[in-house]
A and B are shown apart, each in its own frame.
Chain A
Amino acid sequence: MNEAASVALSPETVLAQMKQNGVTDVVWLPDSETNWLYLLMQAEPSLRLIGVNREGHACSIAAGLAAGGRKPLILIQNTGMMESGDSIRGWLLGLNVPVVMMVGYRGWTRHGITTDTAATYTERFLMAFGLDYYLVESDADAPRITVAFEEAARTKRPVVVLVGDEYHGFNR
């Protein structure tokens, strides 16, 4: 394992967090970085995958799943999260849905100037909506995902996990 892979957030770790926290359904819109996770989720019989073609749809679907007793996870990218603003407001915050949103942090970097405006506005967006969030970048950060699930359940609100470095560990 090279150094980059050893510090990455592995898809196996993400899947283990989903199972540990009782996720039943993953409502998601794939991006180029999550294919490895997709293959793992597809092979996991305890998960139902619900693919959407616009991220706001994930919010209303998750609200319906939660109303019926399921435990959904939303898996999208930051660009789509920003597109979903009104759905987050109405379907998740408005209906007090305790859901974790795992959001790929496109453009985020610790190494110099942020040039991707998707990253520029991500945390500002979350602050504007009053959404708590946790950043995960490597397997060592994975327990923060469980913290997010626990906070969502306690507060009956959506809680965001920002996946830094865009799952680059998945490209192997």
Chain B
Amino acid sequence: MMRIAEALEAFRAYREAAIVVPGRGGRYWVEQTDRPELDVPLGDPAMGGHAGFALGLALARPERKLVLFDSEGDILMSLGMLATIAEQAPANFYHFLLDNECYATTGGQPVPNAKNLAYDRMALAAGYPRAHAFDEIADFARELPAILQRSGPVLVWLKVYPEVENAPIGRRRRWQTRSRDQVLADLRGALGVPAP
């Protein structure tokens, strides 16, 4: 297994001008990124939707890579999204999946059948042309440049340590440095997209 921050740090060196939707890795990524205007750290607007949001953004901006750090709890709520992504087949879509086998933000309860799920095979079965699986950071770091050089969509399944939060939500450290409105305004500014 690897730490989420380690995986994000390995990716950072190859980020270039990609749009990054850090999902539940956002609390680490906001301290690692050097292109915050191209980041979309939204927290958790509604569980299960990160893949859909990232797909929409990838389709809207095909000229840029779109990198999503999804989580297994989110995609389990929306497995059908894999079929929609595969059908749309955005070549700029890089779908990383952080799998800690549990609901870390609610205290670490296991996701159903956590030890027996194979997300790379689910993605392939849904029609993704490529999928990878990594348990160790060294293997991931070695293969990452080649993964990012090839066209998407691709799913990259990463086994990460549970980093469990068990404090009441109202007492947790707020890691977001910008409001969601500001995040989207900054992104539109960086992309040259007028406000709707």
Q: Which of B46, B87, B193 contacts A90 (CB 8 A)?
A: B46
- In the complex, what residue of chain A is closest to B84 when comparing beta carbons? A52
Contact A91 B46 (CB under 8 A): yes
Q: In the complex, A88→B88 CA distance in Å?
A: 23
Contact A67 B60 (CB under 8 A): yes
**Which of the segments A92-100, A115-123, A132-140 contacts the partner chain?**
A92-100
Complex contacts, B55 vs chain A, CB 8 Å? 61, 64
Complex contacts, B188 vs chain A, CB 8 Å? 67, 69
- Interface residues of chain B: helix, strand, loop or mixed (majority): helix
Contact B184 A95 (CB under 8 A): yes
Interface size class of B (residues with CB under 8 A): 35 or more
Q: Is B122 an interface residue (CB 8 A)?
A: no
Complex contacts, A98 vs chain B, CB 8 Å? 196
Residue-wise, chain B 166-196 has the 8 Å CB interface mask toward A (1 for contact) of 0000000000000011001001100101101
Contact A60 B46 (CB under 8 A): yes
Q: Is A59 an interface residue (CB 8 A)?
A: yes
Interface positions of B from 45 to 81, Cβ below 8 Å from A: 45-61, 78, 80-81
Contact A65 B180 (CB under 8 A): no
Between-chain CB contacts (< 8 Å), 22 pairs: A27-B56, A50-B59, A50-B84, A51-B84, A53-B84, A56-B78, A57-B81, A60-B53, A63-B49, A64-B55, A64-B59, A66-B196, A67-B188, A68-B56, A68-B191, A68-B193, A69-B60, A69-B191, A69-B194, A86-B47, A91-B52, A156-B196
With A54-B80, A57-B49 given, name 14 new contacts (CB 8 A).
A48-B59, A51-B84, A51-B87, A59-B49, A64-B53, A65-B56, A65-B60, A67-B57, A68-B61, A68-B191, A69-B194, A95-B42, A95-B180, A95-B184
